[in-house]
Chains A and B, each alone.
Chain A
């Protein structure tokens, strides 16, 4: 499969914020001294008055966003996922989730594809934490087009919503015509033997895996499950009924990610044979992103292996 690298999902987010800022004067953006990396700096250039850089203080960052939301603004809050989710978790809980406020949390540098900066900067727990907040929408778009669309959907959606963006350039899966709906997975390929469910950078790997499996006469469905919560029950149940075999692939700790969510659903509704491609209960390390994805088993070849194990 040809790999065409597009922009990073964080770039798509920053660019879309400018468009949203022009359309809706209530949109405000907050960052904690990482705006050049999260790409909220693009919004700041156009709307300096509606951009707040609070400094290196994530707890206050989220608290201020809660107050803005309670006063009718639509705050988009950004920092690295490792800091924004893990350092501000109580503020996200008490300030945003519990009072059901309209706060958008868009955290960059999710997963281990952060690369050279190493484990301290790599959020591998963010999906587990954010999905446990009652009522919180949780998403990981896979490319620049879906990330841009998801950012727009966030502005329309009322309530707490989390998006993880990634540092490296993302393989292009879609084009600007893609229609993203929160909570609706996208079937990228249809097959009768096995279903590969992935999000983020692993969507490309799943498509590659499906191609490789096809060479061995194994027909795989591929689903971009960009929304982990709410999960697309109908699509997953119908796939599990059809193929009876499901591999879930994600750039997240195996505990509490997309795999856990899909397994919980299918265990109740339509038990299938399942396998999980994820980070195996460990922290990663410094290195080039591609080499890290190889070493920690998040590649097409790992998905193929997992598929064959259960078929």
Chain B
């Protein structure tokens, strides 16, 4: 696979943001805010970093992606459609009865989805399992786990963090979409996890801290994290919830509320 240029990545990102708006608006439900904040992260993984084959989703040499923040499913589906795992014309069936595009990812329904998520805090543990299996089989593929900042309220995340470092698990990269909000309010209001960088460092993780919307920073941090040995790596990606649409940015109303028809039209105009 030839790696796309930044211009090409930007074009994909625009299409993905449009899909997120269309899907959530059509379903009149879903989580647009936290989907829009992680667009660059997921596209960089699928189009630049990860070794994968949409024609052979269970290829043993593939890299694994666990979307632990399962509520960002519109983002995952849209990026997987861009990558060739999902037919584009099924995207608007999101959340409809019988659709493979469930409200939260269901690995049984879409080949290429590695983990069924939606109950926050579990993806890192599952990712550790993938990484350990690959280590046992002496394969060099990577496991990526995309988490939300609010998700790190969960105790299981810190169980997993301690265990992965203790077992010196490398080839494991966690990315925290640090958009500063959770459902009820700002993360600093609900359960402040700062100092986040120091927390992960003290858990013996390699830490990169970046602007999660800057393509070069995202790609560089992922490449650097791949090269970390005998230690898991985490990327703290500062992002903006609702990124890309003026009236949705940092507007936590759109955490779990879909844009209305009128709002969707305005958003799509901005993204045209």
Contact = CB atoms under 8 A, between A and B. Distances in A.
A177 to B, nearest CB: 35
Contact of B128 (A49, A64, A72, A94): A64
A63 B122 contact: yes
A98 interface: yes
A22 to B, nearest CB: 16
Given A60-B156, A60-B159, A67 B136 contact: no
B75 to A, nearest CB: 20
B4 interface: no
Contacts of B119: 90, 93-94
B112 interface: no
Interface string A24-64: 00001000000000000000000001101011010110111
Contacts of B33: none
Contacts of B60: 72
B156 A73 contact: no
B24 interface: no
Q: Size band of the B side of the interface?
A: 20 to 34
A131 B183 CA distance: 33
Interface of A is mostly: helix
Given A60-B159, A94-B116, A100 B129 contact: no
A103 to B, nearest CB: 10
Contacts of A72: 60, 133
Interface in B121-163: 121-122, 124-134, 136, 155-156, 159-160, 162-163
B118 interface: yes
Interface in B94-128: 106-108, 114-119, 121-122, 124-128
Contacts of B107: 70, 99
A258 to B, nearest CB: 29
A21 to B, nearest CB: 13
Contact of B136 (A49, A63, A64): A49
A72 B136 CA distance: 11
Interface residues of A, number: 30
Given A55-B162, A63-B156, A68 B115 contact: no
B167 interface: yes
Interface in A77-128: 90-91, 93-95, 98-100
B88 interface: no
Contact of A52 (B64, B114, B167): B167
B126 A70 contact: yes
Nearest to A57: B159
Contacts of A28: 132, 136
Nearest to A64: B129
B132 A64 contact: yes
A54 B165 CA distance: 11
A71 B129 contact: yes
B166 interface: yes
Contacts of A198: none
Contacts of A64: 125-126, 128-129, 132, 160, 163
A65 B134 CA distance: 13
Given A55-B166, A57-B159, A59-B155, A71 B133 contact: yes
A66 B129 contact: yes
Given A59-B125, A66-B126, A91-B125, A71 B134 contact: yes
Query: Which of the listed residues A63, A68, A70, A91 has the most CB atoms from chain B within 10 Å of its own CB?
Result: A63
A64 B145 CA distance: 13
Contacts of A95: 115-116, 122, 125-126
Given A67-B115, A90-B119, A99-B116, A60 B130 contact: no
A140 interface: no
Contacts of A98: 106, 116
Given A67-B127, A70-B115, A99-B107, A91 B163 contact: no
Contacts of B106: 98-99
Contacts of A69: 129
Contact of A67 (B121, B130, B156): B130
Nearest to A100: B108
Contacts of A49: 136
B125 A60 contact: yes
Interface in B49-75: 60, 64, 66
Contacts of A94: 116-119, 122
Contacts of B126: 63-64, 66-67, 70, 95
10 contacts: A52-B167, A63-B124, A64-B128, A67-B125, A67-B127, A73-B136, A90-B119, A94-B116, A94-B118, A95-B126
Interface of A: 28, 49-50, 52, 54-55, 57, 59-60, 62-73, 75, 90-91, 93-95, 98-100
Given A57-B162, A68-B132, A98-B106, 7 more contacts: A59-B156, A66-B125, A67-B133, A70-B115, A75-B129, A91-B156, A100-B108
Across the A-B interface, the 8 shortest Cβ-Cβ residue pairs: A67-B129, A63-B125, A71-B133, A57-B159, A60-B159, A67-B126, A59-B156, A68-B129
